[in-house]
Amino acid sequence: MSETAAKLVYRFGDGIADGTAEMRDLLGGKGANLAEMCNLGLPVPPGFTVTTEVCTDYYENQQQYPATLGADVEAALEHVGKLVGSGFGEKECPLLVSVRSGSRASLPGMMDSVLNLGLNDETVEGLALRSGDRRFAYDSYRRFIQMYSDVVLGVDHFEFEDILESFKEDNDFSMDTDLSADDWAEVITRYKACVEQALETSFPQDVNEQLWGAIGAVFSSWHNQRAITYRRLHAIPDDWGTAVNIQAMVFGNMGDGSATGVAFTRNPSDGTKELFGEFLVNAQGEDVVAGIRTPQNITERAREAAGSNAPSLERLMPEVFTQFKAIYEKLEGHYRDMQDVEFTIQEGKLWMLQTRAGKRTAKAALKIAVDMASEGLIDERDAVVRVDPASLDQLLHPTLDPDAEREILASGLPASPGAACGEVVFDSDEAEKLSGQGHQVVLVRVETSPEDIHGMHAAQGILTTRGGMTSHAAVVARGMGRPCVSGAGGIDIDYSAETLRAAGVEIKKGDLVTIDGSTGQVMKGRVATIQPELSGDFGILMGWADKVRRLGVRANADTPADAAAAREFGAEGIGLCRTEHMFFDADRILAVRQMILAENEAGRRDALEKILPMQRKDFTELFEIMHGLPVTIRLLDPPLHEFLPHGDDEIEHVANAIGVEPARLKRRVSELQEFNPMLGHRGCRLAITYPEIYEMQARAILEAAIDAGVSTGKPVMPEIMVPLIATKAEFDMIAARIDAMAEKVRKERSADVGYITGTMIELPRAVLKAGEIANSAEFFSFGTNDLTQTAFGISRDDSAKFLAEYTAKGILEVDPFISLDIEGVGELVRIGVERGRETRPDIKLGICGEHGGDPASIAFCEEVELDYVSCSPFRVPIARLAAAQSSIARNERENAAE
């Protein structure tokens, strides 16, 4: 920039602007929108923007401003003065300005604004004269000194508040309004003394010194620690820089003809198309935010609805209101989105200070997007892009009433969204019993195991004190759609006393607690919740999303109930049916245990023979519900010890039930115990040792496929998935057994048996050998949970203890078990995809880790062109929308590249 004569300063005002909304990179968001409003002919106080390039240049050149900047700023200021009929530093008719930062992306931690700049001991008298309100002038001056000293000079604002407080005490004043102009003048004297003491120099009286001080402070704040950290975390380049906006002040506090307010062009809570906003008469913008006085409604309708006596703007200043209504319609039409605007009325004249896209709830976002598309303001693709997929969670689960009071006991991980309230129980059997008696319960456990499934089903919500986002409790709860808080380490459970302690409070069995699985909070007693309500808009938007997305969306579903929920939410198949949960049903766990305790293959086969008809029934039901949609079934994965009881009492009980010596059962339990079960004798390793287990499962799947094909009239083509493959040899050995079983079933049933066999890619070695494995495997499903565990060497169940610290310290941006670690684990997925496709170009590729329901991860899946993602049933809508947005983004990228 220093070489070319780039424009350093962009002016706006009086219906003309040098910039436009498109110049966000150069002018920052605020500057670009001010220019745009100006170009739209809206009443914007005149001003100018120092570009982001000046900031970049400043830092590249030892913090020197470009040579011509001084002259350009001076000329622009003169121009502004001309437009408003005043002059910067002029005694009689002083021009006052605001100085605000404004970068390309909104960036917390940067200097916000300095108002009333241009006041000094002389110009304050000019302002008094011109406004006819000496008290207003001195109040403005003291505000300026306080603000400037704080953000530019670095004198803490508490110092000024202390001075004001003691002045009020000394004079027995209770409110600021009790102070007269002379009182403020006295306060100002003390303020200036305070500055002089702190800085050993007096408060600047030179208005140019004031201005350049403020510009420098904006630039400096680009490099303060908070801004740097925020940029690093959000991958915002340092060299974007910030712009500085300098704008003539307008005053909403110049008497009863003045006012200031904020408004949304639609209702940000529910999306209703109505002007929604508030204002205060005779006030500055900061007063609205401060919440000292109750703001008034803008429209009559809103006032009536609120039952307020304070007059609306519509009634109080009908002309201004009409003008404002026209402006907000123009703005929304122009920006084609709901706007959040700030305005000031100075002595009856309306000024627009800011416009930007308004924040909104999920419900509002949905309605606004669908409405705007119906109104023709945007098209369907725009509507799809406008809704944050993650926010849909709010629509699918009960949420806490934001106005309800909460006594927070502890915080854990937001493991499964939704709020739930119930009586505390510490035991799954009891949860089931009480629930059967009509009680609402929250199951509280240190951790859950597959033996708790019935209790989790019976409970309103689940709370654990150990385990991460993908612990057993979390995964199962999400699958069931039960709210769950996991890993709430601040809670101490005493099972024998049936109590828990947290935050110094003791909660007994039967006491009420409320958990919020969307935030991880655990609260004492009942906190009011709001039930979800799925509007027609939801279905409409999902329909539009489905039209544009390329990625298939399947669900992880293990039970008929899961499968039904999955279809209801629009899943196009099952991407992961975990068969282990089926082994825990009360009527079959005995046979499973007999199998594990068998001394030899014959004994195991006997026990498996008993399980076969039940497994077949499971699969038949699942296939019938899915009605021809693809179903991927993962063969048994967990280590066998998960199916055995632990603890002496339980062992004794189970041993009696299956008729073996407790000592023998105990020995087997101890034999099967593992140091690191996640890396132990599980997955396909079980089938290498006990091939008969997978043979039984293959038979059950294939026979069920035949049966369901007949009952539904839709042929079923199951996808049989082998877990935890590390070598092609493992896969081949198991696939050969499956093929042999298929041949057997084909002959026995004289039926066509169609199926494909594939594998999870969930170990780094499988990724590297994907090219070889694809010679045999017909599909890959990336198991990104285990892949994340092995790539990072982090157990998801143990990670809660330290991963929070990792994200807090900025070592990791997000928990890699929640959102795929794209540069690490993502590279593994990429390698697996490339090598797999090289061998078998039409190989079916999906993902079935928890990441399948995370929008950022879905965008990555689109980028590497997977065929589908699979996630918990309740996340299917999120995945559908995220997939659609990923498709759109990719098309745009590709079009841009052409």
Asked whether position 674 contacts a copy of itself by CB under 8 A, the answer is yes
Asked whether position 688 contacts a copy of itself by CB under 8 A, the answer is yes
Do residues 636 and 696 lie in contact, with contact meaning Cβ atoms separated by under 8 Å?
no
* 3-state DSSP assignment of residue 339: strand
Region of 311-319, 545-553, 574-582, 725-733 interacting with a copy of itself (CB under 8 A): 725-733
269, 810, 891, 893: which one binds a copy of itself (CB under 8 A): 810
Measured from the CB atom, the residue of 549 and 769 that comes closer to a copy of itself is 769
Give me the DSSP letters along 665-682: HHHHHHHH--SSGGGSS-
Q: Is 224 left (phi over 0), alpha (psi -120 to 50) or beta?
A: beta
Asked whether position 726 contacts a copy of itself by CB under 8 A, the answer is yes
Enter the DSSP assignment of 851: G
Asked whether position 762 contacts a copy of itself by CB under 8 A, the answer is yes
Measured from the CB atom, the residue of 31 and 467 that comes closer to a copy of itself is 467
Asked whether position 807 contacts a copy of itself by CB under 8 A, the answer is no
785, 790, 885, 887: which one binds a copy of itself (CB under 8 A): 790
730, 815, 850, 854: which one binds a copy of itself (CB under 8 A): 730
Measured from the CB atom, the residue of 657 and 811 that comes closer to a copy of itself is 811
Asked whether position 584 contacts a copy of itself by CB under 8 A, the answer is no
Residue 614 CB burial class (10 angstroms; 0-12, 13-18, ≥19) = middle
Do residues 308 and 296 lie in contact, with contact meaning Cβ atoms separated by under 8 Å?
yes
Region of 188-196, 395-403, 682-690, 739-747 interacting with a copy of itself (CB under 8 A): 682-690
Reported for 673-677, long-range contacts at CB under 8 A and 24+ positions apart, including other chains, are: 673/641, 674/639, 674/641, 676/795, 677/638, 677/639, 677/641, 677/642
Q: Closest approach of Cβ 790 to a copy of itself, in Å?
A: 5
* Interacting positions 491-510 with a copy of itself (CB under 8 A): 492
Do residues 163 and 210 lie in contact, with contact meaning Cβ atoms separated by under 8 Å?
no
User: Alpha-carbon distance 384 to 369, whole Å?
Assistant: 7
Measured from the CB atom, the residue of 750 and 809 that comes closer to a copy of itself is 809
Q: 605-644 mask for a copy of itself (x: CB under 8 A)?
A: ----------------------------------------
Measured from the CB atom, the residue of 688 and 889 that comes closer to a copy of itself is 688
Give me the DSSP letters along 261-297: EEEESS-TTT--SS-EEEEEET--HHHHHHTSSPPEE
Do residues 421 and 513 lie in contact, with contact meaning Cβ atoms separated by under 8 Å?
yes
786, 815, 850, 862: which one binds a copy of itself (CB under 8 A): 786
Asked whether position 764 contacts a copy of itself by CB under 8 A, the answer is yes
Asked whether position 695 contacts a copy of itself by CB under 8 A, the answer is no
User: Which amino acid, one-letter code, is at 18?
Assistant: D
Asked whether position 845 contacts a copy of itself by CB under 8 A, the answer is no
Measured from the CB atom, the residue of 547 and 801 that comes closer to a copy of itself is 801
* 3-state DSSP assignment of residue 530: strand
User: Alpha-carbon distance 523 to 461, whole Å?
Assistant: 13
Asked whether position 768 contacts a copy of itself by CB under 8 A, the answer is yes
Q: Closest approach of Cβ 723 to a copy of itself, in Å?
A: 10
Measured from the CB atom, the residue of 49 and 789 that comes closer to a copy of itself is 789
**Catalytic residue among 55, 484, 848, 861, which?**
848
Give me the DSSP letters along 697-729: HHHHHHHHHHHHHHHHSS----EEEE-S--SHH
228, 733, 814, 864: which one binds a copy of itself (CB under 8 A): 733
Asked whether position 724 contacts a copy of itself by CB under 8 A, the answer is yes
Asked whether position 821 contacts a copy of itself by CB under 8 A, the answer is yes
CA torsion 181→182→185→187, rounded to 10°?
A: -100
Measured from the CB atom, the residue of 749 and 765 that comes closer to a copy of itself is 765
Asked whether position 806 contacts a copy of itself by CB under 8 A, the answer is yes
* 3-state DSSP assignment of residue 856: helix
192, 680, 754, 814: which one binds a copy of itself (CB under 8 A): 680
Residue 834 CA: distances (Å) to CA of 135, 726, 773, 839, 842: 73, 17, 13, 9, 12
Reported for 225-230, long-range contacts at CB under 8 A and 24+ positions apart, including other chains, are: 225/109, 226/108, 226/109, 227/107, 227/108, 227/109, 227/110, 229/109, 229/810, 230/107, 230/108, 230/109
325, 501, 681, 890: which one binds a copy of itself (CB under 8 A): 681
437, 533, 659, 809: which one binds a copy of itself (CB under 8 A): 809
User: Which amino acid, one-letter code, is at 94?
Assistant: P
Asked whether position 666 contacts a copy of itself by CB under 8 A, the answer is no
Q: 271-290 mask for a copy of itself (x: CB under 8 A)?
A: --------------------
Region of 27-35, 281-289, 651-659, 722-730 interacting with a copy of itself (CB under 8 A): 722-730
Active site residue 684: no
Measured from the CB atom, the residue of 232 and 508 that comes closer to a copy of itself is 232
Asked whether position 678 contacts a copy of itself by CB under 8 A, the answer is yes
Active site residue 577: no
User: Alpha-carbon distance 50 to 667, whole Å?
Assistant: 77
Asked whether position 823 contacts a copy of itself by CB under 8 A, the answer is yes
Query: Would you state the structure tokens that stand for residue 120, as one six-digit string?
Result: 């000094």
Measured from the CB atom, the residue of 466 and 593 that comes closer to a copy of itself is 466
Asked whether position 793 contacts a copy of itself by CB under 8 A, the answer is yes
Measured from the CB atom, the residue of 638 and 709 that comes closer to a copy of itself is 638
Asked whether position 677 contacts a copy of itself by CB under 8 A, the answer is yes
* Interacting positions 313-372 with a copy of itself (CB under 8 A): none
Measured from the CB atom, the residue of 130 and 830 that comes closer to a copy of itself is 830
Beta bridge partners of 264: 276, 340
User: Which amino acid, one-letter code, is at 566?
Assistant: A
315, 685, 744, 890: which one binds a copy of itself (CB under 8 A): 685
User: Alpha-carbon distance 306 to 300, whole Å?
Assistant: 10
Size of the site for a copy of itself (CB under 8 A): 51
Q: Closest approach of Cβ 597 to a copy of itself, in Å?
A: 16
Q: Closest approach of Cβ 827 to a copy of itself, in Å?
A: 5
175, 376, 675, 895: which one binds a copy of itself (CB under 8 A): 675
User: Alpha-carbon distance 537 to 368, whole Å?
Assistant: 9
Do residues 473 and 447 lie in contact, with contact meaning Cβ atoms separated by under 8 Å?
yes
Asked whether position 825 contacts a copy of itself by CB under 8 A, the answer is yes
Give me the DSSP letters along 191-223: HHHHHHHHHSSPPP--HHHHHHHHHHHHHHHTT
User: Alpha-carbon distance 540 to 366, whole Å?
Assistant: 10
* 3-state DSSP assignment of residue 521: strand
Residue 428 CB burial class (10 angstroms; 0-12, 13-18, ≥19) = buried
Asked whether position 407 contacts a copy of itself by CB under 8 A, the answer is no
**Catalytic residue among 472, 484, 577, 851, which?**
472
Asked whether position 169 contacts a copy of itself by CB under 8 A, the answer is no
Q: Which of 416, 503, 523 is closest to 461 using CA atoms?
A: 416
Q: Which of 575, 680, 672 is closest to 629 using CA atoms?
A: 575
Asked whether position 676 contacts a copy of itself by CB under 8 A, the answer is yes
272, 627, 802, 865: which one binds a copy of itself (CB under 8 A): 802
Residues that bind a copy of itself (CB under 8 A): 489, 492, 667, 671, 674-681, 685, 688-689, 724, 726-727, 729-730, 733, 762-765, 768-769, 786, 789-795, 797-798, 801-802, 805-806, 809-812, 821, 823-825, 827-828
Residues designated catalytic = 472, 848
